[in-house]
Amino acid sequence: MRSSPGPFSSSSSSSSSSSSSSSSSSCDAPSSCFCGSHWGRKPRSGASWLQSSGRMMQYSPCPVAERSHWDATLRVPTGDFHAVLRDDEAALDWLSALRRVGVVHLKGAGPEPGAVARLAERIGYLRLTFYGPTWQVQDKPLANNVAYTSGKISLHTDYPALHAAPGVQFLHCISSAEEGGESEMVDGFHAAERLRRDDPEAFGTLASVQVDFTDMGTDYCDFLLQAKKSVIEVDAEGRVLRINFNNATRDSVLDLPVDRVQPFYRALRAFVDVLSRPENTVTYGLAPGDVLTFDNWRLLHSRRPYRSRPGQPRHLEGVYLDWDEVMSRLRILRQSVRGNA
């Protein structure tokens, strides 16, 4: 993974990416802004109601606004773990890039557990799930999840078995593998727009057909989850809102009319082909102290099989948050950093 030339800068050579971004955006504000940015301006008159009105008339909380899509040429935005905890401007840069690009690589957290919880508290609070407040990605006996093995994990989004899948995920590397364990990530919004352009029938199928996801077992407590999701979730205007795709939890039964089964598998194959293109894939490895923060409604990520060092199992600690809480912190940081200017 290439390192960024400057903190939180990112770029994509894919010009159609930005076009697909703007085409998928409903935000009338300048593309440099993010949802809620208009909170920050100085009143131009004493009429605070008109001012707030002006704010609202430009403000779009639409979750697909102000995204910049990317491909393999992405330079992943980077930041310093302690800086984002300590400094509001660094935190604002972090969360703005997380929103815009969908992934930010924080460095310098050290190898001690607890870093992801501290980042969650910086924002507000973490989201508890059936896998606990934070979760330990290690090779475990009697694993209740493929993540808790040393095997390969194919490209996926986390937790589609929850109707409300977590919006944001942080992964902190506490101990890396001796061999393997590298990850790949793909911008699911970019891939979905490519599919829409190149195979609109497949896009329409994945945006309309609902498939079952299931997850059962015992961790924080016992659970038995079922959800129906379209793999590409779009809003009433057809804008991509979320990617819901995880073959490890896609149900063994495909609950579709028989005449939809082959079109669904054909469309899923077409989407996986787009996701798997080298031109769309960023490969990265995490070193102890690195924290990958990313948009779980947008990014797909995978893991290669690995072998741990003798006596030192590979260990990542993870946590989930939701976009409501992250956007709330983003708006507050914007106010404090921009000084209402």
The smaller minimum CB distance to a second copy, of residues 160 and 318, is found at 160
- Complete DSSP assignment for 248-306: TTB-SS--S-HHHHHHHHHHHHHHHHHHH-GGGEEEE-PPTT-EEEEETTTEEEEE--E
Task: Annotate 113-168 with DSSP letters as a single string.
Answer: TTHHHHHHHHHS--B-BTTBSEEEES--TT-SSGGGSSS-EEEE-S-TTSSS--SE
String of b and e for 162-185 (b: at least 16 CB within 10 Å)?
A: beebbbbbbbbbbebbeeebbbbb
Smallest gap from Cβ 261 to a second copy, in A, equals 13
Nearer to a second copy, 255 or 259 (CB): 255
Measured from the CB atom, the residue of 12 and 96 that comes closer to a second copy is: 96
Residue 233 beta carbon to a second copy: minimum distance, rounded to whole angstroms: 11
* Distance in angstroms (rounded) separating the CA atoms of residues 131 and 145: 10
Name which of 137 and 326 has its Cβ closer to a second copy: 326
CB of 310 to a second copy, least distance (A): 37
For binding to a second copy (CB under 8 A), which residues are involved?
35-36, 39, 49, 52-53, 55-57, 59-63, 124-125, 127-128, 130, 162-164, 208, 212, 220-228, 236, 251-253, 255, 322-325, 327-328, 331-332, 335
242-255: burial string, b at 16+ Cβ within 10 Å, e else: bbbbbeebbeeeee
Angle at 170 between CA 168 and CA 173, to 5 degrees: 160
Distance (Å, whole) CA 241 – CA 62: 9
Least gap, CB of 144 to a second copy (angstroms): 14
In whole angstroms, what is the distance from residue 51 CA to residue 33 CA?
18
Task: Tell me the closest approach of the beta carbon of residue 272 to a second copy, in angstroms.
Answer: 23
Give me the least distance between CB of 281 and a second copy, in Å please: 30
- Comparing CB distances to a second copy, the nearer of 223 and 284 is 223
**114 or 238: CB nearest a second copy:** 238
Residue 195 CB, nearest distance to a second copy (Å)? 19
Provide, rounded to whole angstroms, the least separation between the CB of residue 304 and a second copy: 30
Residue 110, SS3?
A: coil
Q: Which is nearer to a second copy, 208 or 262 (CB)?
A: 208
Q: Which residue, 312 or 340, has its beta carbon nearer to a second copy?
A: 340
The residue type found at 118 is: R
Dihedral class, residue 14 (left if φ above 0, else alpha if ψ from -120 to 50, else beta): beta
